[in-house]
C-alpha cells in the first residue's frame, strides 16, 4: 500500500500467536488458527511473506499506527507481534538463499 508523496520504509513483521494447544495438552483450538490466518491476510495487504509468520512490508511511517491497530484487532493478550525497521544500509546487506516461501498447508479464510 504505497502512499503518494511519502517515502516508504521497509519493515520486518514477525508474529507469534499463543497456542492454547500447548497449554491444554493437545486440545486444538480453531480460534488460534483463525487469528493466525486473519493476521497473515492483513499483512499480505502491505507486503510479502518471507516465512510462515514473517513478513517484509514497505509502508510509510504514518501507516504504522494503522497497521498496528489492524493487527491488534485479532490479537489476544498472549500473542506477540514484533515490527522491526529495516534501514537502508542494513537492507543492502540482506542475503537471500534458497527458494521463496510458498505456503502449501496454509489457508487464508
State pLDDT tens for residues 66-107.
999 999 898 888 888 999 998 777 766 666 666 665 555 555
Query: What confidence category does residue 1 fall into, taking pLDDT thresholds of 50, 70 and 90?
Result: low
Q: How far is CA 86 from the centre of its chain?
A: 14
Which amino acids are annotated as binding site for Mg(2+), given as ranges? 16
Which amino acids are annotated as binding site, given as ranges? 16
Supply the range of the domain harboring residue 28: 9-89
The total of structural domains in the chain comes to 1
Give the pLDDT confidence score for residue 25 in this predicted structure. Answer: 53
pTM of the model as a whole: 0.71
Give the start-end residues of each E strand in the chain: 9-16, 47-51, 54-59, 80-86
Return the CATH number at 83.
Answer: 3.30.70.240
Amino acid at each position: 500500500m504505497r502512499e503518494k508523496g511519502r517515502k516508504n520504509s521497509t519493515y520486518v513483521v514477525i508474529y507469534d500467536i499463543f497456542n492454547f494447544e500447548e497449554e491444554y495438552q493437545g486440545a486444538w483450538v480453531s480460534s488460534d488458527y483463525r487469528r493466525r490466518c486473519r493476521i497473515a491476510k492483513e499483512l499480505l495487504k502491505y507486503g510479502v511473506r518471507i516465512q510462515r509468520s514473517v513478513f517484509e512490508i514497505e509502508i510509510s511511517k504514518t501507516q504504522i499506527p494503522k497497521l498496528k491497530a489492524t493487527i491488534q484487532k485479532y490479537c489476544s493478550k498472549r500473542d506477540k507481534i514484533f515490527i522491526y525497521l529495516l534501514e537502508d544500509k542494513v537492507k543492502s546487506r540482506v542475503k537471500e538463499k534458497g527458494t521463496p516461501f510458498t505456503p502449501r498447508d496454509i489457508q487464508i479464510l
